[in-house]
């Protein structure tokens, strides 16, 4: 039967749905990139160092583009673009204040993503300026990028994860780009000691 064999061939060529670690990686990396973009926004008013501003602009542009791409990748597969940390929890009986308090408690009890700056670190960065800001920005972004490298490593450590060709290429690009930027930032820190 020619129709059956054509349908079978098409089915075997259909892309395999992404694994749970693939989806969690993409959703988590969107959140992770969002904080990096938030950090680069501070450069406009907190530093006078043109080299740091230029680096921050490159990070901002690349990570904003990558967030757009990751959201599109998830949307094309019918998947949510953000993590649902509250999946399976019924909060229908709670008012807005109770929900907000519950969310805060959940956030405090959940482990942070690798490399993410803590609320205290972000507050310190927001309050700093000049050379103190420059130091905090560079050390914070190194921490942040190191976390992204850890996320890539964890993705590929999962059997069957990272098999989608686009995801595989993206994760490798993240690894290569952020390692190169870490090297640049370490050099910048040494120059400013």
**pLDDT tens sequence across 37-83:** 999 999 999 999 999 999 999 999 999 999 999 999 999 999 999 88
85: tokens are 């940390």
Quote the CA–CA distance of 6 and 187 in Å, as a whole number: 57
pLDDT at 104: 52
Indicate if the pLDDT at residue 100 is higher than 60. no
Structural domains for the chain: 17-80+98-191 (1.20.1260.10)
Q: What does the pLDDT read at residue 88?
A: 43
- pLDDT value at residue 14: 58
**What mean pLDDT is predicted for residues 116-137?**
97
pTM: 0.80
CA torsion, ordered 145, 87, 163, 63, to nearest 10 deg: -30
């Amino acid at each position: 039967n020619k129709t059956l064999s054509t349908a079978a061939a098409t089915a075997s060529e259909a892309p395999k749905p992404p694994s749970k670690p693939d989806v969690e990686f993409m959703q988590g990396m969107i959140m992770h990139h969002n904080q990096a973009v938030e950090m680069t926004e501070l450069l406009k008013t907190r530093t006078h160092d043109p080299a740091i501003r230029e680096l921050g602009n490159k990070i901002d542009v690349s990570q904003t583009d990558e967030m757009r791409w990751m959201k599109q990748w998830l949307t094309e597969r019918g998947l949510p673009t953000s993590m649902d940390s509250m999946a399976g929890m019924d909060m229908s009986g709670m008012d807005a204040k109770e929900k907000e308090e519950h969310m805060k408690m959940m956030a405090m009890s959940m482990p942070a993503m690798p490399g993410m700056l803590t609320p205290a670190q972000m507050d310190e960065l927001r309050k700093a300026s000049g050379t103190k800001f420059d130091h905090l920005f560079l050390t914070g972004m190194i921490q942040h990028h190191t976390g992204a490298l850890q996320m890539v490593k964890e993705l590929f450590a999962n059997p069957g994860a990272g098999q989608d060709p686009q995801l595989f290429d993206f994760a490798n690009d993240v690894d290569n780009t952020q390692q190169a930027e870490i090297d640049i930032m370490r050099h910048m820190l040494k120059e400013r000691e």
